[in-house]
Amino acid sequence: MKYQKTEVKLDNSLSFWKHFDKEERVLFYNPLNNELIIGAKRLKTFGQEENYNNYLYVFSSRTFFDSVKDQKWAEFGNETVAFEYYLVEKKGKQTLYYFEDLVEIENLKIKSNEHFYNISADDYEEWKELFANVYYEISSRKVNKVVISREVKIVCETLVNTESVLKNLLEKNQNSFIFAYFKNGKTFLGATPEILVQKEKDNIISYALAGTILRNDEDDELQKMMLLNDRKNRYEHQIVIDKIADVMKQYIRDVIIDEIKILTLKNLHHLQTRIYGKDNSTLSEWVTRLHPTPALGGNPAYKALEIIKKYEKHERGLYAAPIGIMDENGDGIFVAGIRSALICKNMVFAYTGGGIVDKSECEAEYIETNNKLKTIIESL
Ligand SMILES: C=C(O[C@H]1C=CC=C(C(=O)O)[C@@H]1O)C(=O)O
């Protein structure tokens, strides 16, 4: 499918996002290659087996669990879509791609709005109950890790200005993937550090990301050392490495596991390990094979998912779910939709979670989820 293209010069690419205010839109910023892609106006929806390789880009999302009941997630996820217009910003160059009709994008002022809000984070009792239930299952050795999460409701005094939130997310989270999906008046967005799987020709790359410590301005190097040497975090991380490597080894003879590194974000450090090999399956097939890793579900996955379903009171929807973008060759990347929120008018449903193992402590894990929540709070 041939798109036509033209160079544009906008002070901020978010003018393109704002231009298509009423239309379905998607935004994806990849910090690995500094590429920002924004798509607007649905052109085509792809069936499961349909070939989308001739489209410039396709956006694909799945819900965390196969199905969702909660109305606020209605019509989100489990589809692959091509858009009529794309704006691609790379190395300071902006290119507008259009399928049929060229549009003029006005150069708008994108401002950071400060939202005044009320946050109902008085859910520690609920967390304690969730933690106790999950801890019991871990103690009885049915599972060795479960990732549990909170839904935190934030009520803003005005409608949420998503351009402003996106501007802040982009400016403040340089090592994260910034994503947004606007559909039917609601926006799911976030700044995630977690890559589920990436494909470049026959190179399949996944990352284990689990294990967390707060940054400390005074002695950040010490924090990194502490995280690298912390037994609970190493154990939690190793479960993720082992599972990803096991899945990959079913399809790939030579799976390479790099050494464990530190990924530094605005407020936190994480343990991160790259795991990769060569294979010719599609990226969507790899997403199905790997989702959810024990960084988002638990181990063994089927048991952990049963536990999450049983004890978490909210529905995850797109939280921690695969969200990705693929190019015309089928190459691309899927990230996990964490450090995220669903925005409906003046309401922000923010999601935050953490991995629980037998050495986890209830209060410390709760505080960790508050630290992870800062990504969304600081964008408001
Ligand atoms: C589940 C989340 O984080 C995951 C990713 C990195 C570190 C994690 C941890 O240390 O618990 C979590 O596995 C979340 O941010 O909601």
Distance CA(309)–CA(147), nearest Å, equals: 11
CA of 240 to the centre of ligand 1 (A): 11
Distance CA(144)–CA(294), nearest Å, equals: 10
Report whether pLDDT(113) > 90: no
Distance CA(289)–CA(80), nearest Å, equals: 17
Report whether 204 contacts 279 (CB < 8 A).
yes
pLDDT in tens, 194-218: 999 999 999 999 999 999 999 998 8
Distance CA(11)–CA(9), nearest Å, equals: 7
**Atom of ligand 1 at shortest distance to CA of 372?**
15
Per-residue model confidence (pLDDT) at position 120? 80
**Atom of ligand 1 at shortest distance to CA of 352?**
16
Per-residue model confidence (pLDDT) at position 41? 97
Report whether 363 contacts 128 (CB < 8 A).
no
Distance CA(268)–CA(146), nearest Å, equals: 21
- Which residues have a Cβ under 8 Å from the Cβ of 17 and sit 6 or more positions away? 25, 27, 38, 40, 162, 163, 166, 180
Other CB atoms within 10 Å distance of the CB of residue 175? 13
Other CB atoms within 10 Å distance of the CB of residue 74? 12
CA of 338 to the centre of ligand 1 (A): 8
CA of 354 to the centre of ligand 1 (A): 5
Report whether pLDDT(2) > 90: no
Q: What is the pTM of this model?
A: 0.97
Per-residue model confidence (pLDDT) at position 51? 82
Distance CA(134)–CA(217), nearest Å, equals: 34
Give the H or E element holding residue 188: strand 186-192
Distance CA(199)–CA(272), nearest Å, equals: 18
pLDDT in tens, 252-280: 999 999 999 999 999 999 999 999 999 99
pLDDT in tens, 133-182: 999 999 999 999 999 999 999 999 999 999 999 999 999 999 999 999 99
Per-residue model confidence (pLDDT) at position 11? 94
Distance CA(321)–CA(188), nearest Å, equals: 11
For residue 38, give the nearest of 49, 46, 50, 30 by alpha carbon: 30
Q: Does residue 239 have its Cβ closer than 6 Å to ligand 1?
A: no
Q: Does residue 211 have its Cβ closer than 6 Å to ligand 1?
A: yes
Alpha helices (runs of H) in the chain, residue ranges in sequence order: 14-19, 124-139, 162-172, 220-229, 231-249, 283-290, 301-311, 362-377
CA of 215 to the centre of ligand 1 (A): 15
Q: Does residue 372 have its Cβ closer than 6 Å to ligand 1?
A: yes
Per-residue model confidence (pLDDT) at position 53? 76
Q: Does residue 365 have its Cβ closer than 6 Å to ligand 1?
A: no
The residues facing 208 across adjacent strands are 273
For residue 341, give the nearest of 330, 332, 331, 352 by alpha carbon: 352
Q: Could you give the C-alpha distances from 194 to 184, 285, 307, in angstroms and in order? A: 27, 18, 23
Q: Provide mean pLDDT across the span 34-39.
A: 98
Q: Provide mean pLDDT across the span 205-234.
A: 96
Can you list the domains of the chain with their CATH numbers?
A: 119-377 (3.60.120.10)
Q: Provide mean pLDDT across the span 91-103.
A: 95
Percent of the residues in the chain that have a pLDDT greater than 90, as a whole number: 94
